[in-house]
Each structure stands twice: as structure tokens, then as C-alpha cells.
Amino acid sequence: MRHLVEGRKLGRTSSHKKALLRNLATALFEHKKLATTEAKAKELRPYAEQLITKAKKALHREKNGLLPEGQKIDIHYRRIVGRDIRNKGVLQELFDTIAPLVEDRPGGYCRITKTGTRRGDASKSAVIELVDWSAPQDGAYSLKSKKKGKKGAVAPVAVKSKKPKVVVDTEVEPEAEVPVPVKTRKPRVVKEKVAKPEIAVPAVEETLVVEAPKVEEVIETAEAETAEIVTEEPVAEEKKIAEDAPAPETEKEEPKA
């Protein structure tokens, strides 16, 4: 059992936890707002507020002239805070911007707002921010859940803003009427339509229509031609054979004794 041991381990060693808080504080002073888990935010709040308090003490010493001779800024507190805030730009932001703004605030420089469970590992998430850089609240709101039949539930209080009264001065002289310029229309230009010239189309010559011969006449002429060819061919062949054949020998007459 961890009796009388304050703080949270955050699942880290002591050196790892210190490095984590340094990085979270640097990001908080740089961006003025940081989204993380609820356990880390609760560990970061006192750690960051102690650094802001040291910056306020340095500002108080600088204004009241409590520094050693020849010094204009408090080097001692800047070196102490510089052990945790290693970024020089953020360190200057803390001493020159944040500390003068929270000079009159007696504490409570940070605010933690719970944002429910985180998707994935279902861890409790929260947002930690500097109070003087947060958006102004509209009104008070009860954190108690509303249930039917439960008494004592406080409804949200709406802040009513008073509207300024408008006073109408009736003795004001009416303004002089300004002449309104009259718009003049431009004359409409009508374009005359030009008639297109007629083009003479030459007459089409009449074509001669030749009637095609009938089928029966064509057949008769074809048969007549074939008949003539058939009759002429054998006559010509006979003539050729007769010409080629040798002449018949004539009988020699025997001399009479």
C-alpha cells in the first residue's frame, strides 16, 4: 500500500514523469490551452502555477528595485524557471506577457474542464487552460444532472443584457431633398432587312425515254441468230474438205493396136 504518498505515478519513472511535466508546461505557456488526460491535467496544474508564481515574484522585484546593483531584470528567478522551461522563447513569454497579466490574481491561474471519455482506450480526458486567456462564460450552470422528480436541481441562469434606449430628437430639421437623377433611355436602332437577290435556276432538259424491248422479242431474235449460225457452219466445212481432197485420177486410154 502506498500510504502518505501524494501525487500520481502516471505509469512512468520519476525522471520520465519530470520530463513529461516539463513538456506539458512548455506547451501550456505557448498555446495557453492543452487537451490531455484528466490525471495529467491534475498533475500539471500545481506544477505550472508554481512556475507562474516565480515569474510574478521576479516582476515584483523588478518594479520595486530589489535587484542587485546593475541589474534590470531578475536573473535569479529566470535561471530557476529555465531549469524546467528549456525553450527560450516560451521562457520570455512567461516573464514578459503572462506574469504582468496575472499580477493582480492571487492564485488559480489554470482551469481544468472535463471532456468525458476518450475514444479508443476510454480514458478520462480533460482540457487545461490559462484562466485569463479563456473565452468568457455566458452564465452560471449547475453541474448536477437533471432527473425527473428530483428536488434541488438548479436550472441554467441566463444573463439578460439590457438594450440601450433610443432617444428620438423631434426638433431636428428635415434633411434637404436630393434631386434624383432621371435615367434616359437610349434611342433604339432598328436595322432594315435587305431582300436577298433571286437566283435564276436553269431549266432542266428533257431526257429521252427509250423503251426496253420485250422479253419475247429478245428470245426470238436470239433463236434466229443461232439457227443461221448452225446452217452456215456445215456448208463452210464441206467446202474446206472438198478443197483439201486430192483430185481423182483419170483413166489412161490404152493405145489401140
Give the CATH number, domain containing residue 83.
3.90.1030.10
Q: Which domain holds residue 88?
A: 36-131
Instruction: Say if residue 210's pLDDT is above 60.
Output: no
Q: Average the pLDDT over 220-230 and give the result.
A: 71
Cell numbers 480533460: residue: 126
Q: Report if residue 154 sits inside a domain.
A: no
What confidence tens digit (pLDDT) does each residue in 14-39 have? Answer: 999 999 999 999 999 999 999 999 99
Q: Report if residue 136 sits inside a domain.
A: no
Give the pLDDT band (50/70/90) at residue 174: low
Q: Report if residue 61 sits inside a domain.
A: yes
Give the pLDDT band (50/70/90) at residue 145: low
Supply the pLDDT for residue 57: 97
Q: Which amino acid is at 245?
A: A
Supply the pLDDT for residue 185: 73
Give the pLDDT band (50/70/90) at residue 56: very high
Q: Report if residue 127 sits inside a domain.
A: yes
Instruction: Say if residue 241's pLDDT is above 80.
Output: no
CB 139 within 8 A of CB 157: yes
Supply the pLDDT for residue 219: 77
Q: Report if residue 182 sits inside a domain.
A: no
Q: Report if residue 213 sits inside a domain.
A: no
> What does the alpha-carbon distance between residue 86 and residue 60 come to, in Å, rounded to a whole number?
23
When divided into structural domains, the chain yields a total of 1
Q: Report if residue 66 sits inside a domain.
A: yes
Q: Report if residue 83 sits inside a domain.
A: yes
